[in-house]
Every structure is written in C-alpha cells, then in structure tokens.
Structure 1
C-alpha cells in the first residue's frame, strides 16, 4: 500500500516513545524514526537512576525497554546479568505505580529466546507487549499496535501455559497431602468434594454454551466498486499502478497498444468507399427513372392530344354523316311522294309514262343514297368508338407506367435511405476507432484505491469491454464479505456480533476486529467446492485507523466467528 505521510501528519497525533537501552541502540533507533510522522522518539535513558525522573517530565505514550541493556544500576542492586533482568522487571512495576498516566510498556529482545519465566514476570509487573526484535520495521508496527492497546497473542498463550503449570503443581501437592491426612479430614474433604460436584451439576444446567459459526471471506470496500473496462481490443503495453495503490481522478492507470484498430479502420474506410460508390449508382438510376418518367409524360401528352383530336374529328364526322342522312331521308320522302303522285295519276297526258319512269329512277337512287348514308353514319360511329377506346387504353397504359416507374423510384429511394444510414453508421464507427486509437491511455475516472488488478502484467491481449481493474471510491469504509455454509446458517440473522481474525501482519499477532452482520443473502448458491453457501456482509464497529496506519487494506482474507445461539451445556453434551 502507498502511505500518505502528509495526510497522516495533519490528522493523527504522533506516538511519543521513550527508549531504555544502550547508547548505541538508542542512536540506531532514533535515526530510523527521525523522519517518521507516526512515531517520535522524545527521550532515551541508559542510567536507572534517571528513568523515573525523565518519565515524569516527558510523559510518553510508549516506553520501549531492552532487557539486554547489560549492567543497569537501579536502587543499588548487584551488577550482573541476573540483576539487570530483575531491574527491568522492577522498573516496569515502578513505572506503572509511580508515573501519572502510565504509558504502555513494550519489551523487545533479540537473544533472550523468549524466556517464559522472564516474560511472565514482566507481564505481572505491567508490561503491555513483547516482540522478538528482528527488524526495525516490525518494531515500528509493534509500537503502533501497543499504543492502540492490542495484545500480542504469544503473551496470551504464555499466560495460559503458566496457569496450566500452576494447576498441575497443585494437583501433585494435593495428592501427597491427602495420603498423610487422618480420616476425619477425609470425611470433611468428601463433603467439600460433594459440594463441588453439586455446584458443578448446577453449573451444567444453568450455564450456557455458545454455538459459533465461521465465515470465510475478505475485506472489501463498502461503496460500489467502479469497474474499468478496456475501450479497445489490443495488447497491454504497460501498467502504471498496482493493487492497493491510491489514485487521483484522471491519473494514468494503463497503456494499451491498439494496433488492431488500424486494420479495422482500414476495413471500415474501404467499406465506406464502396458504400459511397453504390450510393452514387443508386442516385444515377433514380435520375434515369425520373427522366424516363418525364419523357414518357411528354410522349403521353402528345399522343393524348393526337387521340383527342382524332376523337373530335370522329365526333364531327358523325355529325356530318347524320346531317347527310337526314338530307337523304328528306330527299327519299320527296321522291316517294313524287313517284306516288305520278304513278297514281289517271291523266296520262299531264304525267306521261316517261315522267313516271324518271320519278321511279329517282326514288331508287334515293333509296341507294339513304342506304349509303346510313352505312357511312354507322361507320363514323364505329370510328368514334374505336378512337375513344384507343384514348382510354392510352390513359390506362400511362397510369400503369407511372405506377411502375414510381414504384421503382420509391424502391431506389428506400435503398438510398438505408445506404445513407449505413454510411452514417460506418462514419461513426470510423470516428469511434479514431477515438480509440487516440485513447490508448486508460485514466482513473474517480479518486479512489485500486481494489483489484484483474490484468496484472503487460503483454496480455484484451478485448474491447473486458474488465481491467476495480477501483474503490475514496474514503470508502471497509467491510468483511464472505460465505457461510448452509448447515451453519440456521440461526444467523442481521445484527449479530462478529469477531474477525485477519490473515495479515500485525493483525494476526495483535488481536481481532469486531463488527455486526449487516447483510445476509436471501438465497443460497453453490461455491467452487460444490457446497451450498450464503453470502454474508459484516460492518466493522470501528475503522481501526485504516486511513492513517495503513495496517489493513482491501483484499486481506480472514475468518469471522459469529455466536449464532446459546444453549445449556448439559443440552449441548446430550445432543452431541
């Protein structure tokens, strides 16, 4: 993780440390912490007579004691190594007793080989921590943890070992005493033991046993995670950050080599050229059809005018023939009357025979004339009907032709519209490709912390839209998310307290985190081990100085223990 020392110095009070060690060791430690913003060495001592005086004046947060300091003159004790260790224990007890606002006491050593007897005495005297000194970095973390009140797990186990040893010694001594006791004392002892047994039985029925379920998981940001996807298809050229690093908005994260986009751009440009050529051809076809329609319209109007003239001429011919027919009919009637008059006359002298014959010839001639006139009249009507039919056919042909040409024009217009849309789409794709080619550097969209680097090294081929990394928003609280087996989740509910043991130094050594269950998935799922599990989220009770000490980070794994129910010990023993 990246430490932001400037931020820390403005927001957290440094830990004041007092060192009791040799001059050489004090100088080495003081030089190491010279520029440290979290830890300030305020004073040192290698003379036992001045320790309490200095401590009362400077009032440190943590006192760092090396039991290997050598000869330490303190209250006129003997000058040997045993006296030195004894003096250290005496100093610890005096600090806790006489110093106002007694500081935390941390013992560090590199060659004492974890002398359990000495460590036990130091704990009883008031020591708060113990560490085998292997590096100054570990010493730094131990000072921070001790100042926060975290207890070293090795100290707890040492206390348990000491108690067990006391119990074993007590059992052996008790057995020897019993063998030498008179009978009256044995009876008294039996009564006492019976009382103890009854008390134990009552304790079995009254005391409750805690049923604990385990949840395997890891620390994650509580806020929604921003997923950074690859905008292009290409090869990862370089990665500018690593998992756990803080980033600022617009900070470069990763560079992609997107040469594949140049090939795609060339293909799209060729496609665009072909589409434009086709569009030009379609427009020319449309122009030809429209010109053909215009020419056909002109021809139609010309033929229409001609047919209308012929129709008018036929109408006039009908009128003429009708007039001629009427005239012939009139002449026929005159000829008939004249012939009747001549033929029916009794006076042959007035109308001689020759006049009768002449009148008859005229009558026959008029009959022929009327036959011819009727024939011509009917012929003129037939011509009119024929011309009218031709005009109708011409109009129908024109309408059909107009519809056919218009359909062709509409079809071409649709093709032009579709092709224009395709051209616009291709142009947009080319713009996107140009943008992608220029956008090979991936920037951080927000201020945050790199929660997970999905692509962890350069040279990897990625596809467009493929996730590259996850960013947690800045100042996001840390929660513990994990999975609990279905068989262990019967009594699990939101709000139950939880203890989290994180697999990360120094938390592995200096205690547990506490929190409460804030979410339980409504339905189960199958994990990689083919087990039915539920997703669970635990919200921590405190941020544990995550933002300042940098002791924990997103992604650290661990195990949470939840007390799901309590039952009588006797019930537990019977059921199990």
Structure 2
C-alpha cells in the first residue's frame, strides 16, 4: 500500500462520486497519525481471472488431447477349457456305495460308485417267470386255434380264456356232428359220445319221418276201402237205375202200383247220394295222402334247415372265440416284448454294477450323496470337470457387440473376491459367438457368448495365492478403444439433444 496526500479514484471508478476531502488542519501530529488513503491493487483480481482462463484453456486442451479407455461390462462365470462331462448310469438302479465326494480329483477308470444288484436280480427272476407263463399261454392258445390242444394240467390259464377254449371245443364237436348229419355219413371219425348223439338224432329224425309216413299209409288204406265202397255203390246205383227204367213203363200202363215206382226212385236217389258221399270222401283222403307225403318231405327238409342254421351259428361263435384268442396272443406278444426289454435292462444293470470315471478331473455336482439314492439313466449322477486352464465365459449384449473384436484386452474381476483387496486378472478376448442367443428368464436380452483367456489362474494377496474354481461368477470390462474426453462429452450432449427431438 502507498500513502498519498490526496485520494485518487481507482481505475474501476468505484469512488468517482466521493466528495472532495477537507484540507488537513495545521495541527502538528505524529508522523504515523498523518491522514492517508489506501489504494486497492488489481493484481490479485487479474491473477485470478487469468488463472481461470488458463485453467479453462488447459482443460479444453486436455479434453481434446487426453484419451481414456472405453470399456463395456459383461457378466459370466469361469469354465474349464475342456467340456464338462456328465456321468450317467447306463440303466436305472439304486446306489449301494459312494466312493468319491465333491471336489475330489479322480483318474480315468477309477470306480466312482456301485449299484445294488439285489433289485435287478429279483426283477430279472420275476420277469423270467412272467415270460414263461406268457409263452405257455400263447402256445396253449395257438394249439386251440389249430385244433391240436388238449386239457391243461400244469398251465395256469386265465378263467375267461379257459371258458372260451372249452366253449370252442364244444362248438367244434357239435359242428362235426352236424356235418355228419348233413352228409348222412356214419360218423366213423367221431368219438363214442358224438356217435351216440348222431345215432340219437338220426333215430329221432327217422321216428318223425316214420310217423308221418304211417299217417300217409293209413290214409292210403282208407282210400282203398273208400274206393271199394264207391265201386259197390256205383254198381248198386246202376242196377237200381236199370230197374227204375224197367218199371217206369209198367207204372204208366198200370201193371205195378205207383208206390213201387216211388220206392224204386227213392232207392236210386239214395244210391246217388251214397256215391256222391263216397266220391267226396275219396277226394278228402287223396288230399290227406298228399299232405302226409309233403309232411314227410318237410320233416326231412326242416331238419336239414335247422342243422344248417345251427352249423352257421356255431361257426360264427367259433370265429368270435378265435378272434378273442388271437387278440390275447397279440397282447401277450406285446407284453413279451416289454418284458424282454426290461430283462435286457436288468441284465445290463447287473453287468454295469460299477460306475467308473470316463476321464481325469474333479468331481462336481455329486447328486448321489447317500447310499440308497435312486439313480435315473436320463439324469447325470455327477459331473467331472477337467483340470485344464479356466476361461471366462461371458455374455455381451446386442447393444455393446458392435465394437467388440477378438484379441481385445479385458479386465476380469471375480465376484467372490473384493477388487479393492484382490485386484483383477488381465485377459484377452479369444472367441465371440457368431449368432446371438435368445432371451431367457435369467438373461432377458439377446446376447452373444464370448470367451476370455486369462493371463493367470489365481489371485494373489499378501503373498498368498488363491486358485480359481470353475463356476465362479465374474464381471469383465472389455476395453474396446481409447477416446478423448471431449468426444465422450459431445457424444453425451448429442444423445441428450437427440432425446429432446422425441419429446411430444
């Protein structure tokens, strides 16, 4: 600060309207008490202004020239380079012993677990018995269809089919008997029972035919008697008519009485009536004889018709029974096919009593953790993870895939280990999928699969190394390019400006 006897306004003109100072008094004062005016310096204001301008300029220069890494995030997990092998048992079974545990290293061919053979053995024996029974049933049904079957003694046949076979045998025997009756043969090929029935039926038919024939014969005799009577009556009538013709002239001449003439006329009329009656009786008997002959013929025809109808019904019933027996054979064949498949499975279960490791690796996701576990052949009981180097498999969204290329640097952070303490692992993007995967419940967007090759397989902290494990989740930052700060700011400004265009 400088001391001036007079006050002068500064360059900014802040005291231009200040009234003039009064002239100093003549009193004598100490030197330090003399009046003085402080003049404000503009150095600091100029320094601040130029500092701000310089900083702004340097900031703009830095924003235009300085570059920072631009990275896109991706989520995923650690996986071995080789494929994880799912180990399944060949057939369903119950686990007897478990020789490994989760995380255990195994060698190829090492026994992992054993299957209990008790159930497959019992199942195989049971299936064998059922199979034998079905084969015997089919053999019995086929023999019945071929007509070579006999009575069953050791084979257990279902009651409904046993009844059908008995009915079929009875119908067949009846059919043979009917054919013998229709053919009129003596039935030499028939059994004793069938021959007795044939003889009985033939005797019955013969009796009915003889009865009808006897009735006709009786009518023949009556007709003959009537013919004799008619012939006698006709002769008597002719004689009386001749006598009447002789007496009529005598009666007119008066040689005989009129009463005698009338008696003769009455005798002629009586003879005529008797002849007419006998002729009518003769016609009746002739018609009766014709009816008797027709009855004899009808007796034989009706019996043959009944036999033919019964034969047709029997054949239809036999065909229905044969259809049911054939259906039973087909059903049994289906059951036999299923049983053969089950028996093969049981035999295979006995053969594969031990489950061995298909390759070297580490046991992972062991489901059969206790004896008695029921293992399904369609589901893996455990997995073996190869001891190869781990890679990071991540998913990159459609929005970020544009600038991603193979060979880019990646920073991988394991979610299980804090970044501030354990840091990250450097890696290189080694593979990118050629097509996007469809959305899922876990990942609702279309994503591209990618793999990252890690520079090291462990994390270090305080001189201690921690190995990575398959399945660990991770976050990856893929460094796609370097951009200036100014380009990032202008890009954000452009996005904001573009979003304003869509405001309604």
TM value normalised by structure 1: 0.49
1:279-336 CA-to-partner distances (Å, cap 9, x unmatched) read 6315755653443222111322344444997899899999999999999999999889
Q: Distance in 1 between matches of 2:110 and 2:303?
A: 84
Q: Distance in 2 between matches of 1:224 and 1:331?
A: 124
* Partner of residue 373 from structure 2, selected from 455, 461, 464: 461
Structure-2 residue corresponding to 1:409: 322
Q: CA deviation at 1:436?
A: 0.9
Q: Distance in 1 between matches of 2:211 and 2:58?
A: 140
User: SS of 1:218's equivalent?
Assistant: strand
User: SS of 1:371's equivalent?
Assistant: helix
User: SS of 2:92's equivalent?
Assistant: coil
Gaps of 5+ in 2: 1-41, 139-154, 185-201, 248-263, 459-466, 497-504
Q: CA deviation at 1:510?
A: 8.7
Structure-2 residue corresponding to 1:561: 477
Give the number of the structure with larger relative contact order, counting CA–CA contacts within 8 Å between residues 6 or more apart: 2
Residue 170 (structure 2) pairs with residue 288 (structure 1): no
Q: Distance in 2 between matches of 1:208 and 1:388?
A: 119
1:431-455 CA-to-partner distances (Å, cap 9, x unmatched) read 422321331211345x565573433
1:474-528 CA-to-partner distances (Å, cap 9, x unmatched) read 99x96533457xxx764345954462526599xx77941211432675433334x
User: SS of 2:376's equivalent?
Assistant: coil
Structure-2 residue corresponding to 1:499: 410
The structure with the largest alpha-carbon Rg is: 2
Q: CA RMSD in A?
A: 5.6
Question: Measured at CA, do residues 512 and 453 of structure 1 come closer, stay the same or move farther in structure 2, by a change above 3 Å?
Answer: same
Q: CA deviation at 1:262?
A: 4.4
Q: CA deviation at 1:270?
A: 6.2
Q: CA deviation at 1:359?
A: 9.1
May I ask how many residue pairs the two structures share in their alignment? 377
Structure-2 residue corresponding to 1:481: 393
* Partner of residue 370 from structure 1, selected from 277, 283, 293: 283
Asked if the contact 1:324–1:373 (Cα under 8 Å) also holds between the matched residues in 2, the reply is no
Q: CA deviation at 1:268?
A: 4.3
Q: Distance in 2 between matches of 1:542 and 1:553?
A: 13
Q: Distance in 2 between matches of 1:330 and 1:462?
A: 107
Residue 489 (structure 2) pairs with residue 570 (structure 1): yes
Q: CA deviation at 1:230?
A: 6.2
Residue 116 (structure 2) pairs with residue 254 (structure 1): no
TM value normalised by structure 2: 0.54
Q: Distance in 1 between matches of 2:234 and 2:297?
A: 35
Q: Distance in 2 between matches of 1:535 and 1:217?
A: 15
Structure-2 residue corresponding to 1:452: 364
Between 431-440 and 383-392, the greater mean CA deviation after superposition:
383-392
Q: Distance in 2 between matches of 1:540 and 1:194?
A: 46
Q: Distance in 2 between matches of 1:201 and 1:217?
A: 41
1:186-229 CA-to-partner distances (Å, cap 9, x unmatched) read 98998687455324225436757725313132224465854524
Gaps of 5+ in 1: 1-182
Residue 213 (structure 2) pairs with residue 298 (structure 1): no
Asked if the contact 2:89–2:355 (Cα under 8 Å) also holds between the matched residues in 1, the reply is no
Asked if the contact 2:124–2:343 (Cα under 8 Å) also holds between the matched residues in 1, the reply is yes
Structure-2 residue corresponding to 1:525: 440
